[in-house]
Structure 1
């Protein structure tokens, strides 16, 4: 039985917009779910109605701030809510996005993904997880957080990936036929085609914005030592897909 009607939790977010676009381009019916569409996956408002007739859910909803405790509670409650409503509606599969290195993190926002993953895997609806690298779009967010002519970004290794590329992989996981266990180990990963330095990527964008980007060797951020050691880089089993950050930036015009 094919999966044609797919609800997207977090449909108006940075990643969710791309997921909706991919589904629409493939001729599938996308059911956008966000507070803007009258669906709250935390309180459950509008959720049962939205999931009526839905074959699968792609969960790309995210917390809007970096606070670890608040993010953890959001992901725990949201995952449980999606599973409970999904089970009532007869949803056959949930696909959820996480972050590469979530299992290694000890503090900060990424730690919340440990709870996010566990809550999904413990739910009654079969789940497929996908861990993704930081998005190309995240570089611009880092600059936005530092208004002015100079921005300070970490000299940390990363393997940036386009949100559109991640969206395409999430849709593939949602619609492909079953092939063995729904959630296998290791959890699949997706990242960009090559290793980059966050500050160097920021400098490319900074040139366009008229912002000088200064690289910081010892950034004051959660798990900076782990990041410097490559803990948040993709593993050997990861799917690597373009474009590179420079190619993506050029395509933005």
Structure 2
């Protein structure tokens, strides 16, 4: 089994990636500031990558502002390549978002830059583009002001973090690199963010009102299905409702 390092190991997706790797018998090096490894300053990075064969990069910026997120990804990409090359790492696998190649603004545009920055480095890079996570809906509700949550009626094909983690580990550890197009993973059901939020809101006692989402970055692209999975995407459950039914 391989020794893999996970950048962003304590994040929403990273926790699942660590779990999947451990369950499959791999040696895992969780990298986060909590474990003394900072992929931005480089603190602890050389030590963490000693003997590591593969890196899975699921580290993310905590806000949606494009410039700050892009700078985070620029620095993290540079450091992972530089320290990884010195450590003899064979490859980096990153999690991205379906539709980033169309993005022109906001966090998605920063992720588009992230892909480009990683691909321009010295180490081979594999990319998995995922739909928005089931877990993202709760984050949207947490951002509301007051007792009503205004959610965009924009199409989505939400997917569970655990499902993405399994696919990401498959991609990272596959013997052969995927060809074009870039692989995608999404949930089995097309819905709107507002519909999903209403299901979760009903459990939390929050009223959800659907809005057109015109104030969001690239809302027109989203409304036209630009961030939905391509025909080649892998679709995997659970659906949002199924996932919600097993949440504590």
Interval of TM-score (by shorter of Structure 1 and Structure 2): over 0.9
Q: CA deviation at 1:68?
A: 0.2
2:180 is aligned with 1:185: yes
Q: CA deviation at 1:15?
A: 0.3
Q: Deviations over 1:87-116 (max 9, x none)?
A: 101111110011111000111110011211
For residue 204 of structure 1, the aligned residue among 186, 190, 199 is 199
Question: Which residue of 2 is the match for residue 161 of structure 1?
Answer: 159
For residue 77 of structure 1, the aligned residue among 75, 78, 81 is 75
Distance 2:234 2:152 in 1: 25
Match runs of 1:128-139 below 5 Å: 128-139=126-137
Q: Deviations over 1:178-216 (max 9, x none)?
A: 2xxx36321111100111111010000000000000000
2:217 is aligned with 1:219: no
Distance 1:10 1:218 in 2: 30
Q: Give the match's secondary structure for 1:61.
A: coil
Gaps of 5+ in 2: none
Q: CA deviation at 1:38?
A: 0.6
Match runs of 1:1-253 below 5 Å: 4-178=2-176, 182=177, 184-253=179-248
Count the aligned residue pairs: 248
Distance 1:184 1:91 in 2: 21
Partners of 1:129 and 1:183 within 8 A in 2: no
What CA RMSD, in Å, does the superposition of the two structures yield over aligned residues? 1.0
TM-score where L is the length of structure 1? 0.96
Distance 2:132 2:199 in 1: 16
Partners of 1:8 and 1:19 within 8 A in 2: yes
Runs of 4+ that moved beyond 6 A: none
Gaps of 5+ in 1: none
Q: CA deviation at 1:148?
A: 3.1
Distance 1:15 1:77 in 2: 20
